[in-house]
Chains A and B, each alone.
Chain A
Amino acid sequence: MSVYLDHAATTPIFDVAVKAMTDALTKVGNPSSLHTEGRSTRKDVEDARDLIAKAVGCLASEVIFTGSGTEADNAAIKGLFWKSEKKIIAISAIEHHAVLDPARWLVEHEGAELIEIPVDKSGELDLDYLKDLVAKRGSEIALISVMHSNNETGVIQPIAEVVKIAGSIPVHTDAVQSFTKTPLSYKELGVTSMALSAHKVGGPHGIGALILQRAYEIPALLHGGGQEREIRSGTLNAPAIVAFAAAAASKIYEASKVEELRERFEAGLLSSAPSAYINGVDAKRLPGISNVTFPGTQSDSLLLLMDSMKVSCSTGAACSAGVHRPSHVLLAMGHNEVSAQSSLRFSLGANSTTADVDFALSVLPTVIERGRAANQK
């Protein structure tokens, strides 16, 4: 068994979710059917919707189940753009590809203009830039999208302020990493839409949710039976939905415990590798993510070495055909291409232990030494 420190990529499914899903898998009934079986499955789905709504602080009618967090982001970015007559899409420079790529697609195919809002060295959104942008070109902006917290660094973004600055401009937030990890309330933030994903919170893969204001209509991405407010069609994935809700409502994730482990990890790391530094350390971060730059190394070498020593972590950045590219998030935070490719993301989860952290710390010196040697070749 290896030590798993890649919970931001996906985290083990909780037992309560497995139980909920297993029970639902053997149950017949399409939630859209009118008969007894259909009504019974529909009830399970609606109970789940209530739980998700409660967990995220929205109305049940504001929950639209999707096939993934990526689908929720796509539905929001494209839907909000299509709904508007305006052409500017303003997003943070550190968005996940699930937001960045649909925005770029709209530029390429539908004449959108993309404006990226910069972040500072600690990875926090430049609110002054946004203020200035809204003051100058607010009447042209179709939507603003800023993630609630960044998937690579864990840095939490000032969404409430973004909403305030945006005024009447719709705001979408990708809250995939934040959900259940840090206080998150759809209602309090006042955003138009929000994306969630089940497998990051102890639920199964292949299920996500778009939270969208009640009675706020956007053009659909998927057309068909119209199951989810005519905004998302497709037979409701009842087993995944109930498991998602079970995980989201479970409160198994203890933020303070995870944060303590992260602190132990970072303290140990900085004492054994003094040249290493933690990205976003000065900002408010999610409890479980630690993004570390190891100068003089290449992250893909480090990852291979960590893996061979039974520690699973991540380079954080998206891969293109498995080839590691410099992270646009770290570049936006002021890294150059070399230092951006010298970083690893360690992410802890609900079941991480002190032993996990200590084991990772014990292999790091060898890994860094070999990684440096490989980089000099």
Chain B
Amino acid sequence: MKIIAAMSGGVDSAVAAARAVEAGHDVIGVHLALASNPQKYRSGARGCCTIEDSHDARRAADKIGIPFYIWDMAEEFHEGVVENFLAEYAAGRTPNPCLRCNEKIKFAAVLDRAKAMGFDGVATGHYARTQIGAMGKTLHRAVDPLKDQSYVLAVLTTEQINGAIFPLGDTEKVDIRIEAEARGLAVAQKPDSHDICFVPSGDNAGWLRDRLGSEVGPIVDNAGNKIGEHKGAYTYTIGQRKGLGLTIPTSDGSPRFVLKIEPVTNTVVVGAREELAVSKLIGEKTIWCGPAVDEKPLRGFAQVRAHGAALDCTYYFDGTQLVAELDKPLLGIANGQALVIYDGDRVVGSATICESA
């Protein structure tokens, strides 16, 4: 096949491109320039698409022996990922921008452009697997549980999965580094990316405050009594215990946790740990990664964070919303998080949590 290998400048996408070549594909390396004003250098595990990263990607492509180009997707990224991230926080939700990037950029803007130009698909360095069976091409967890990225890919439709190639899904990360070393790729020991790529400082709260303001507002208990003040509701996370600055103790001295963020009234609601517990998750904007599910309850696993646990659940689709009823309650769920359903290691689909109880 003729494919585009998306190359970030990291070790994973470099090895993925090399494996794609070895698998007999006709591969062209593409580095996505996602920041409109890229920084020159990378600092540790943060930031991405710096000029240094694009250089690393180019050198990996040289080593592998494939053509290399840079595609400017800064505008698409800003609109589809960064603005969405801000809007979600402004609405009091907690979004995952990596899902949006896969949904809007890597397997939409890039894949569409590649197909129009005569390519058959896009290979990335994600840790996930695909299988072809009775249900067509389906998305599955990677063999390395610590690196598995199927969660952030659970926004891909069957058509997008058909155009996706994940050469690393069958290998553990440690072995990818060894392989990169053996292939002579200079990025073999480059640190992994963490955090949010477009917040190079790593200070998400500060980044949000700069853009959404830091209007002082009340911190209230569940009965609505004001017990403190916050500096910008957006910077709190559901389940957060530290840094609330509350001086009025609870009657039994138990700690308080953030239960809710209400952007309209700029209020942060706190309460006891038990009040964080939920066992029913309801999600909207459902995307099926394979056959659609109906109202008939099925047994499977729910996952609500990128490297979170797979939680035993019963799930169904009520016609408009995806519902997961957890066997054991879970603490600290924020609206905006992605609910991903698995059938064994197969990704069934995902939805954006809009309600929990």
A-side residues, CB < 8 A to B, are 300-301, 303-305, 307-308, 321-324, 370-371, 373-377
Given contacts A308-B28, A321-B51, A322-B54, contact A300 B117 (CB under 8 A): no
* Measured CA separation A373–B114 after assembly (Å): 10
Known: A323-B72, A370-B118, A375-B116. 12 other contacts (CB 8 A): A301-B117, A304-B69, A304-B117, A305-B117, A305-B118, A307-B67, A308-B28, A321-B70, A322-B58, A322-B70, A370-B116, A374-B116
Query: Which residues of B in the span 58-106 have a Cβ within 8 Å of any Cβ on A?
Result: 58, 67, 69-72, 74
Closest CB-CB distance, B335 to chain A, in whole Å?
Answer: 32
Would you call B161 an interface residue if the criterion is a C-beta within 8 Å of the partner chain's C-beta atoms?
no
Chain B residues with CB below 8 A from A373, complex form: 116-117
Would you call B113 an interface residue if the criterion is a C-beta within 8 Å of the partner chain's C-beta atoms?
yes
Closest to A304 in B: B69
* Measured CA separation A173–B70 after assembly (Å): 33
Most A CB within 10 A of own CB, among B31, B54, B109, B117: B117
Quick one: CB contact mask for B29-55 with A, threshold 8 Å, 1 for yes?
001010000100000000000010010
Chain A residues with CB below 8 A from B71, complex form: 300
* Measured CA separation A375–B71 after assembly (Å): 13
Interface of A is mostly: helix
* Measured CA separation A304–B72 after assembly (Å): 13
Most B CB within 10 A of own CB, among A300, A323, A371: A323
By Cβ-Cβ distance, the 3 closest A-B pairs, closest first, are: A322-B70, A377-B112, A373-B116
* Measured CA separation A323–B69 after assembly (Å): 9
Given contacts A308-B28, A321-B38, A323-B33, contact A374 B117 (CB under 8 A): yes
Can you list 24 contacts pairing A with B, beta carbon distance less than 8 Å? A300-B69, A301-B113, A301-B117, A303-B69, A304-B67, A304-B69, A304-B117, A308-B67, A321-B38, A321-B51, A321-B54, A321-B70, A322-B31, A322-B69, A322-B70, A323-B33, A323-B70, A323-B72, A371-B117, A373-B116, A373-B117, A374-B113, A375-B116, A376-B116
Chain B residues with CB below 8 A from A370, complex form: 116-118
Chain B residues with CB below 8 A from A376, complex form: 116
A377 touching B33, Cβ below 8 Å: no
Closest CB-CB distance, B145 to chain A, in whole Å?
Answer: 35
Closest to B53 in A: A321
Which range contains the number of B residues in contact with the other chain? 20 to 34
A322 touching B33, Cβ below 8 Å: yes
Chain A residues with CB below 8 A from B31, complex form: 322
Closest to B115 in A: A377
Chain B residues with CB below 8 A from A322, complex form: 31, 33, 54, 58, 69-70
Closest CB-CB distance, A147 to chain B, in whole Å?
Answer: 27
A300 touching B72, Cβ below 8 Å: yes
Most B CB within 10 A of own CB, among A304, A371, A375, A376: A304
Chain A residues with CB below 8 A from B116, complex form: 370, 373-377
Quick one: CB contact mask for B110-144 with A, threshold 8 Å, 1 for yes?
00110111100000000000000000000000000
* Measured CA separation A373–B113 after assembly (Å): 8
Contact of B33 among A301, A303, A308, A321 (CB under 8 A): A321
Chain A residues with CB below 8 A from B118, complex form: 305, 370
Closest CB-CB distance, A343 to chain B, in whole Å?
Answer: 16
Chain B residues with CB below 8 A from A303, complex form: 69
* Measured CA separation A304–B113 after assembly (Å): 12
* Measured CA separation A314–B72 after assembly (Å): 16
Closest CB-CB distance, B120 to chain A, in whole Å?
Answer: 14
A377 touching B109, Cβ below 8 Å: yes
Chain A residues with CB below 8 A from B115, complex form: 377
Query: Which residues of B in the span 177-216 have a Cβ within 8 Å of any Cβ on A?
Result: none
Most B CB within 10 A of own CB, among A300, A321, A376: A321
Closest to A303 in B: B69
Chain A residues with CB below 8 A from B74, complex form: 323
Closest to B26 in A: A308
Chain B residues with CB below 8 A from A323, complex form: 33, 70, 72, 74
Closest CB-CB distance, B26 to chain A, in whole Å?
Answer: 9
* Measured CA separation A374–B112 after assembly (Å): 7
